[in-house]
Structure 1
Amino acid sequence: MTQAKAPSRVRVGIGGWVFEPWRGNFYPAGLAQSRELDYASRHVTSIEINGTYYGTQKPASFARWHDETPEDFVFALKGPRFATNRRVLAEAGPSIEKFLASGVVELKDKLGPINWQFPPTKKFDPDDFGAFLSLLPAEYEGRSLRHAVEVRHESFATPDFVELLRTHGVAVVMADKEGVPHLHDVTAPFVYVRLQSAREDRKSGYSPADLDAWAERARAWAAGKEPADLPRLSGAMPGPPRTRDVFVYMINGFKPKAPAAAMALLERLG
Structure 2
Amino acid sequence: MSIHVGIGGWTYEPWRGTFYPPGHPQKRELEYAGRHLTGLEINGTYYGSQKPESFANWAAAVPDGFRFSVKASRFATNRKLLADGAASVEKFLTQGLTRLGDRLGPILWQFMATKKFDRDDFARFLDLLPATQDDLPLRHALEVRHESFRDPAFVDLARERNMAIVFADSEEFPCIDEATADFTYARLQRTVENEPAGYDEATLDGWADRARGWAKGGRDVYLFFIAGAKVRNPAAAQALIARLGS
TM class by shorter chain equals over 0.9
State the AA in 2 paired with 1:138.
Answer: A
The structural deviation recorded for 1:169 is: 1.1
Counterpart code for 1:252: A
Give the CA deviation at 1:47: 0.2
- 1:159 deviates by 1.8
The reply to whether residue 186 of structure 1 matches residue 161 of structure 2 is no
For residues 169 and 61 of structure 2, the distance between their equivalents in structure 1, rounded to whole angstroms, comes to: 31
Give the aligned partner of residue 166 of structure 2: 173
- Partners of 1:209 and 1:127 lie apart in 2 by 43
Please name the residue that 1:61 is paired with: 54
| Partner SS for 1:92 | helix
In structure 1, what is the Cα distance between the partners aligned to 2:9 and 2:67? 13
Deviations along 1:147-186, one digit per CA (max 9) or x if unpaired, are 0010111111122211111011110110111121111101
Aligned-partner Cα distance in 2 for 1:126–1:208: 41
SS of 2:35's equivalent? coil
After TM superposition, the structure 1 = structure 2 runs for residues 79-90 of structure 1, keeping only pairs within 5 Å, are 79-90=72-83
- SS of the residue aligned with 2:234? helix
Q: Write the letter of the residue equivalent to 2:38.
A: T
Moved over 6 A (4+): none
Bigger Cα displacement from structure 2, 38-47 vs 161-170: 161-170
Counterpart CA distance in 1 for 2:198 and 2:162 is 32
1:92: Cα distance to partner?
1.1
2:135 corresponds in structure 1 to 142
Unaligned runs of 5+ in 1: 1-7, 225-242
RMSD between superposed Cα atoms in Å: 0.8
Residue matched to 2:239: 264
TM-score by length of 1: 0.89
Amino acid aligned to 2:214: W
Q: Which residue pairs with 1:163 in the alignment?
A: 156
Secondary structure of the residue aligned to 1:191 is strand
1:109 aligns with 2:102: yes
Please, what TM-score do these two structures have when normalized by structure 2? Answer: 0.98
- The counterpart of 1:250, out of the listed 202, 216, 225, is 225
**1:57 is aligned with what amino acid?**
Q
Aligned-partner SS, 1:42: helix
Identity %: 56
Distance between the aligned counterparts of 1:207 and 1:158, measured in 2?
33
